Structure 1
Amino acid sequence: MTDENDLKYGFESPRNDFDIAQMLAMESTPEEERKVLRKLDFVLIPLMGTAYFLQFLDKLSLSQATLFNLREDLNMHGSQYSWTSAIFYFGYFFWSWPSSYIIVRFPIGKYLAISVFLWGGILMCHAACTSFTSLMIARFFLGVGEAAIAPGFTLLTGMFYTRAEQPVRQSAWFFGNCIAVLIGPLIAYGIGNISSAPIETWKLMFLILGTITSTYGLVLFWLLPDSPTKAIFLTPNERAIAIQRTLKNKTGVMDNGKFKWSQARDALTDPQVWFLVLNSFTSNLCNGGITTFTSIITAGFGFTDLKALLMQMPQGGAQIVFLILTSLACTFIPSSRIIAMVLNTMVSVVGLILIWKLNPADQAGRMVGLTLAVVYAINLPISLSVVTSNIAGFSKKSVASALLFIAYCIGNIVGPQFFLASEEPSYPTGIKAAMSGLVLSIFFLLCLLTYYIWENRRRDQLYGSPEAMTVGAELQDELSNKTDREIDSFRYLL
């Protein structure tokens, strides 16, 4: 039976191993909380990080396949290769909004696991493509399969970690992306040196990576939790502690399986959401082109096809270095998230300027430029931590995440169109478009920072300081499933 308190706080007791009264009555020691945090880090972060590693590895496979005669075998010409990248993001875009609804309505862990299993199968289907048209169909459905992953991991991070802990944890599972950039070329190089395979190398690559991904989806189905109350690796008492730890977030750790349309409207009228969306769009004008054409650009610097794969590895190294520095800065330096994102983006602008302006004969200098040009990509986990920390209400957060990734898709669709086939392999128009997108990204980030400062000061003047609140009041705010604009004590993290 659902009682009055259950409805008030947004979840039903039968779905949990404890109730509101138990949670309020129990007291946990710092050591017990640290033990729960260690368990979460030991299980959740590797699960999400490995999935994100596979996602970006699979995404890179198309670019790497161009060095193994994919375009020639499928008789692709002109701008067709650009569209194979764009159609992936059309699929991503198509499924982003339905996915934001499904994540709220159905068990999130199971939904994400099924998505991983299906996208692995779709990647294997790439090996059966015999024409540009069939490749376009496979790429579209691959985008559909991958659309839920990053928004879903963002919501899970918000469920299990405090606002102060989120930047490092978002960066930790995003670390899988950096590892994929670092060792993905090495994996492709190894596959490329298999001489006894009865099929083309690019087909073998899709089959191997797809099989690994689908198998991992089965692992996620067993281990990835739907909420703190469903984490099989925590005891009932530890699940209660996991919820208690995040009370001060006021962003919602639980939902009642109902999509709240009022929160969707709140998301659509919230200035912070639109600044985040515009930043996502402009920064991904760069991402779409650089990710899709990095192998061709690198080969254009004068490297052989297989060596061009290995020369992409420093990009992963640069991302790892800046990711560690940025996540630590965001954790230990107050109000530094948005400033860190601005600085990372400026580094990438400098890298693109090097590619654009250096003499084509300066192979080393232009490789340094390409290595620095990808640093902006590590802003993604920081922007996701902004969503989990500063947007309250489970439905609002899911809508905001969907909008963010819709903008991500549109940027990745538009960006490659500036990389003109007639300008291969230097693509000056594409490089300038990517650089312009990053400059606009800096502008929108500064707008977001200004809005947060203004709104926090306005709330302090209206409602006073939110510091002195009882545990019961914190619990009521946290489990009320209200939005950040409905909670008077909510303050935005910078």
Structure 2
Amino acid sequence: MADEYGRDYKREVDLSSQDVDLGQILAVESTPEQERRVLRKLDGYLMPLMGAAYFLQFLDKLALSQATLFNLREDLNMHGSNYSWASAVFYFGYFFWSWPSSYVIVRLPIGQYLACSVFIWGGILMCHAACTNWAGLMCARFFLGVGEAAIAPGFTLLTGMFYKREEQPIRQSAWFFGNCIAVLVGGLIAYGIGNISTTAIAHWKLLFLILGAFTSAYAIVLFFFLPNSIDTTVFLTENERAIAVQRTIKNKTGVLDNDKFKWSQAVQAFTDPQMWCLVLNSLTSNLCNGGITTFTSIITAGFGFTDLKALLMQMPQGAAQVVFLILTSLAVTWIPHSRVLAQIFNTLVSVVGMLLIWKLNPDEQVGRMVGLSIGIVYAVNLPISLSIVTSNVAGFSKKSVVSSLLFIAYCVGNVVGPQFFLASEEPSYPTGIKAAMSGLVLSIFFLVVLYFYYIYENRRRDRLYGRPEDMNVGAELQDELSNKTDTEIESFRYIL
């Protein structure tokens, strides 16, 4: 039997296969104040590191849309659907590397792997400035997608590694906050670059060069400070690392089992109903995302703004995302069983926005701008979806596969979505707007199915195994090290 501090819990589990001394970790005594200090340290280091990277990622992704206002299409002699495919091919690259990345990210030091990915994508973004035709741009966009493919799944795994299940939604939202800030200030940054007085280089080339250089420089920071695992975290002391492990043992999601890929867990991922609901939700919602993100600058200019002013008028979209991200991340943190419901609410708001763009007359500029601004609120669902993956998918390999499948669906939606934005309908794109709205409605359907599946599965497990009892640290650790997935652990219950 273990004493009240867990000094002898190593008797209850097999520690022989672990790379870290779990017996020593369990022997460390911690007070609530020490745990709070560790949590503050994690937040103070990890959230800014990941948030800044995600800020740069979305700035870089937004750059293509902004470059259209600096005569990118004219300079590269793009016609018809060329621009739609230039946007879509980025997601082909993302798709191409998403599945291999789910394997590689488990085999390599995750922090350094992500840092190298950031460095590569920054360099490829700079290569956009060397493009002289549509074919060259297509090639650059493909490899940019390859470079960015590992970032969001990697950050998802890191969040699951360092935080408790109940802490994860607001932390996923914290690093995703960089995305919202990029939407908010990205137009301002592009506006500033557009006002640089130069004739030596086209402004769209300058945009890619400046953003790419900043991205690659930031990768060096990530290389030295982004951790590979809890036991190698440079900003925590040895005792703090032990406390960090103790904090996440109750997750039962396999964060300590991160050194090998288990194919049995990969197979199980494909038979999990929650995976299909999450993936289909990602696919349908990104039918909207692909079109709106790609054509937002053109749509905004079509409301009657000049090209440079259209860049500034994208700022309300970022403000709307910031407001709804804060509201929903706080709601899902403090209101039990609200994660899926919050996603449904955000998607409904976006459906209203799409309706405003579609149905209002072209001369109703303010109303259509409001519609466009709230029409992208659905985007803040991504961190909530990722928190569901980190909280409700156990088994490190299974989690990496589900994360990758989620982003593969993300890619497919973003490839298909822009194809509904027909060049002959510029700048209002009624077919594209209707397709985007239809995707959001389907997204709501799959979220509703997911919500009731979780309710059903939790009640079924309660009937079969009884309600989970309060478990001591040794029992929790046994589940954590059991190499089992969420469908195999009898005491596992899904968070709604």
Shorter-chain TM-score tier: over 0.9
State the match for 2:396 in structure 1: 394
> Residue 371 of structure 1 is aligned with which of 362, 373, 390?
373
Aligned to 2:108: 106
- 1:458-491 per-position Cα deviation (integer Å, ceiling 9, x unaligned): 0011111113211100011113232101110000
Question: Over residues 426-482 of structure 1, what are the superposed CA-to-partner deviations in whole Å (9 max), with x where a residue is unaligned?
Answer: 000000000000000000000000100000000011111113211100011113232
Contact 1:10-1:255 within 8 A present in 2 as well: no
Q: Secondary structure at the match of 1:364?
A: helix
Residues 83 and 242 of structure 1, relative CA distance in 2, 3 Å threshold: same
Q: Which residue of 2 aligns with 1:139?
A: 141
Q: Residue 157 of structure 2 corresponds to which residue in structure 1? A: 155
Paired residue secondary structure (1:165): helix
Structure 2 match to 1:221: 223
Q: Distance in 1 between matches of 2:142 and 2:300?
A: 26
The correspondence of residues 414-433 of structure 1 with structure 2, limited to 5 A, is 414-433=416-435
Give TM-score, length-normalised by structure 2. 0.97
Q: Secondary structure at the match of 1:27?
A: coil
How far apart in 2 are the matches of 1:236 and 1:11? 20
Distance 1:41 1:256, change over 3 A: closer
- C-alpha displacement of 1:128: 0.2
Question: Structure 2 CA distance, aligned partners of 1:77 and 1:325?
Answer: 42
Please give the root-mean-square deviation of Cα atoms over the aligned residues, in Å.
Answer: 1.3
What is the alpha-carbon distance in structure 1 between the residues aligned to residue 431 and residue 258 of structure 2? Answer: 49
Query: Is residue 13–residue 477 contact of structure 2 (8 Å, CA) maintained in 1?
Result: no
1:252 aligns with 2:254: yes
Amino acid at match of 1:12: Q
Q: How does 1:76-475 map to 2 (within 5 A)?
A: 76-196=78-198, 198-475=200-477
The aligned amino acid for 2:408 is I
Mapped contact 2:184–2:318 kept (Cα < 8 A): yes
Deviations 1:171-213, CA, capped at 9 Å, x for gaps: 0000000000000000000000001352000000100000000
What CA distance in whole angstroms lies between the structure 2 residues aligned with 1:211 and 1:367?
Answer: 32
Post-superposition CA distance 1:230-261 (Å, at most 9, x none): 11000011001001001111112222521100
Q: Deviations over 1:84-139 (max 9, x none)?
A: 11000000000000000001111110100000000000000000000000000000
Does residue 1:12 correspond to 2:18, yes or no? yes
Compute the displacement of 1:142 (Å). Answer: 0.0
* AA at the equivalent of 1:331: T
Q: For the residues of structure 2 that align with 1:156 and 1:56, how far apart are their CA atoms?
A: 19
Question: How far 1:10 sits from its partner (Å)?
Answer: 8.7
Contact 1:9 1:480 in 2 (8 A): no
Q: Distance in 2 between matches of 1:257 and 1:20?
A: 16
% identity of equivalent residues:
78
Residues in 2 aligned to 1:263 and 1:345: alpha-carbon distance in whole angstroms? 31
Output the CA distance in 2 between the equivalents of 1:29 and 1:428. 59
What is the number of residues matched between the two proteins? 487
The alignment partner of 2:471 has SS state of coil
Distance in 2 separating the partners of 1:256 and 1:331: 27
- CA–CA separation in structure 2 for the residues paired with 1:468 and 1:316: 43
Do 1:452 and 1:492's aligned partners in 2 also have CA atoms closer than 8 Å? yes
The alpha-carbon distance between structure 1 residues 22 and 197, as it changes in their structure 2 partners (threshold 3 A), is: farther
Contact persistence 1:84–1:136 (CA under 8 A): yes
Which whole-Å CA distance do the structure 2 matches of 1:341 and 1:442 have between them?
8
CA distance in 2 between partners of 1:357 and 1:297 (Å): 15
- 1:286-314: CA deviation from partner (whole Å, max 9, x where unpaired): 00000000000000000000000000000
> 8 Å contact 2:28–2:239 — kept in the other structure?
no
- In structure 2, how many angstroms separate the alpha carbons of the residues matched to 1:9 and 1:482? 16
Q: Residues 6 and 53 (structure 1 numbering): CA distance in 2 closer, same or farther, change over 3 Å?
A: farther
Shift of 1:160: 0.2
Unaligned runs of 5+ in 1: none
Are the aligned partners of 2:324 and 2:377 in contact in 1 as well (CA < 8 Å)?
yes
Mark the runs of 5 or more structure 2 residues left unpaired by the alignment: 1-9
Matched to 1:466, the amino acid is P
Q: Which stretch shows the higher mean deviation, 191-200 or 217-226?
A: 191-200
Bigger Cα displacement from structure 2, 247-256 vs 437-446: 247-256
Q: TM-score, normalised to structure 1's length?
A: 0.97
One-letter identity of the residue aligned with 2:465? Y
Selected match of 2:29 from 7, 23, 27: 27
- Equivalent-residue separation in structure 2 for 1:252 and 1:259 (angstroms): 12
Q: Closer, same or farther in 2 for the Cα pair 1:130/1:27, shift >3 Å?
A: same
The one-letter amino acid paired with 1:246 is: T
